[in-house]
């Protein structure tokens, strides 16, 4: 099986006025600047890549000088490594002087500036990322990346084991790029090298692992790639569990929850979270942000709330949406297995859908502390106890609304508060 590559995508890339302007600014006799990497790869697939990387024979100081002469803003973002960022028309272009490795050690390499595009391409990880495009429209491919892209093969440049020793993060990148660009089974040599180097993952910063894993989970082939990682014994090393592939598959199939695209952290929840302990383990293992951790906790709480119910009736849906995050509930329902879905009545599913599409508002508790204080209950612990008792009654009665219900709840809250005073 193979895919058609689009040369017109390369033409469209060079026709971009901003790209053309930056390339023109860097033109010089005896020097060359090319578009490299992901934007060339994606252009061949008819996709638009927002990040444009350029490689040049110009030294960093010459890049700065030429950009400034063309009234472009140039920032020496990594000038010691040969990288200058040029800003134009609200966009950023990373321009890096060609380099050659002198020695490599893990993720750190000693390099020197060079003038050979083929040598520079050899420093990249995969053949499909080593394509470059000249300003005259010529596609340069010294690693057979175009052929690999056509058949959907993600292949390391050179010896796979050696490339992984240079940077163990390439293990995860191998699966991520296969999830996005691969067709069929992963490259055998790459898979074998990644499996053999599993222990090297332990030495990576958790932040780097998090970034790669979340990007992998967003890719079109995420389910198959995660399954490959599971079989290779890599998934448990990263997330601490073999994971729930069936749930991940259902989450990916859902594609959107509550009208919003399904974020990577939601797919992570479906894959690896059953409880608060799972959420905490992932927070530590992946250095998740507070928002990401909170999302996993909300998913765990929603699972717990649903699993407590032997069956889910229409009356239960109001209580669920009143006490749990609606998006998390939607995700739990989306990834439930067929047996559990069968325990959700037709009426309950219909009611739940109305909450999701907004035709039925999420129930809101009708009282606040000010209501009790206004009724003569002195501020203090008894106010909270009265509200808690009244809220329990509200949930028990199905989260009803209206003035009559509010009056009933207020009477109950006042009576409880006075009995506790």
| Phi and psi torsions of 324, nearest 5° | -125, 160
Vertex 200 angle, CA 195 and 204, to 5°: 130
- Tokens encoding 26: 């860097």
How far is 339 from 327, CA to CA, in rounded Å? 22
- With H, G, I as helix, E, B as strand and everything else as coil, classify residue 289: coil
How far is 38 from 52, CA to CA, in rounded Å? 8
Give the global pTM.
Answer: 0.88
The predicted pLDDT at position 160 comes to: 97
CA-closest candidate to residue 313, choices 352, 362, 357, 360: 352
Cα 19 to the chain's mean position, in Å? 28
How far is 275 from 174, CA to CA, in rounded Å? 30
The predicted pLDDT at position 215 comes to: 96
Determine contact, residues 182/153, Cβ cutoff 8 Å: yes
What is the CB neighbour count within 10 angstroms for residue 368? Answer: 11
How far is 251 from 270, CA to CA, in rounded Å? 7
CA-closest candidate to residue 54, choices 135, 122, 155, 123: 135
For tokens 């008819």, what's the residue?
46
Across the chain, which distance is largest between two alpha carbons, in Å? 91
- Tokens encoding 354: 């109305």
CA-closest candidate to residue 365, choices 401, 316, 341: 401
| 35 strand-pairing partners | 54, 133
What are the residue ranges of CATH 3.30.460.10 in the chain?
A: 7-151
The predicted pLDDT at position 340 comes to: 84
How far is 162 from 91, CA to CA, in rounded Å? 35
The predicted pLDDT at position 258 comes to: 56
- With H, G, I as helix, E, B as strand and everything else as coil, classify residue 94: strand
Q: Where are the beta strands (DSSP E) in 30-131?
A: 33-36, 52-56, 73-78, 83-88, 91-97, 99-105, 108-113
The predicted pLDDT at position 68 comes to: 95
Give the mean pLDDT per block of 10 residues along the chain (421 residues).
Answer: 91 95 95 96 90 95 96 92 94 93 55 88 95 96 97 97 96 98 97 97 95 96 96 95 94 73 90 96 96 96 94 92 93 89 90 91 94 94 95 94 95 93 69
How far is 169 from 22, CA to CA, in rounded Å? 32
CATH class of 7-151: alpha beta
How far is 110 from 415, CA to CA, in rounded Å? 76
- Cα radius of gyration (the chain): 28
- Tokens encoding 394: 């509200």
How far is 421 from 415, CA to CA, in rounded Å? 10
């Amino acid at each position: 099986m193979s895919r058609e590559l689009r040369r017109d995508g390369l033409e469209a890339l060079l026709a971009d006025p901003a790209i053309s302007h930056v390339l023109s600014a860097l033109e010089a006799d005896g020097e060359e600047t090319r578009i490299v990497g992901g934007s060339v790869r994606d252009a061949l697939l008819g996709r638009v890549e927002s990040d444009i990387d350029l490689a040049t024979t110009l030294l960093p100081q010459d890049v700065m000088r030429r950009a400034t002469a063309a009234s472009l803003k140039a920032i020496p973002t990594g000038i010691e490594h040969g990288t200058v960022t040029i800003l134009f028309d609200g966009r950023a272009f990373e321009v890096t002087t060609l380099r050659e490795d002198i020695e490599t050690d893990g993720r750190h390499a000693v390099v020197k500036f060079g003038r050979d595009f083929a040598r520079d391409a050899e420093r990249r990880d995969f053949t499909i990322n080593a394509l470059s495009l000249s300003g005259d429209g010529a596609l340069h491919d010294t690693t057979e990346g175009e052929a690999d892209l056509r058949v959907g093969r993600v292949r390391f440049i050179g010896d796979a084991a050696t490339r992984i020793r240079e940077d163990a993060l390439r293990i995860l990148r191998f699966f991520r790029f296969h999830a996005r660009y691969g067709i069929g089974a992963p490259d055998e040599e790459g898979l074998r090298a990644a499996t053999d180097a599993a222990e090297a993952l332990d030495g990576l910063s958790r932040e780097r692992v998090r970034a790669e894993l979340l990007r992998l989970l967003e890719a079109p082939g995420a389910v198959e790639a995660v399954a490959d990682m599971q079989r290779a014994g890599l998934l448990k090393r990263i997330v601490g569990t073999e994971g729930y592939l069936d749930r991940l598959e259902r989450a990916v199939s859902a594609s959107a929850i509550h009208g919003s695209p399904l974020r990577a952290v939601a797919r992570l929840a479906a894959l690896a979270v059953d409880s608060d302990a799972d959420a905490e383990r992932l927070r530590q293992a992946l250095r998740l942000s507070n928002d990401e951790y909170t999302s996993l906790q909300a998913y765990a709480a929603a699972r717990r709330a649903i699993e407590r119910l032997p069956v889910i009736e229409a009356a239960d849906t109001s209580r669920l949406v009143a006490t749990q995050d609606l998006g998390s509930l939607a995700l739990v329902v989306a990834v439930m297995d067929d047996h559990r879905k069968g325990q959700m009545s037709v009426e309950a599913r219909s009611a739940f859908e109305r909450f999701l599409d907004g035709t039925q508002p999420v129930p809101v508790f009708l009282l606040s502390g000010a209501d009790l204080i206004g009724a003569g209950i002195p501020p203090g612990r008894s106010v909270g106890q009265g509200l808690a008792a009244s809220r329990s009654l509200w949930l028990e009665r199905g989260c009803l609304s209206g003035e009559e219900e509010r009056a009933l709840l207020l009477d109950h809250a006042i009576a409880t508060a006075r009995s506790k005073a």
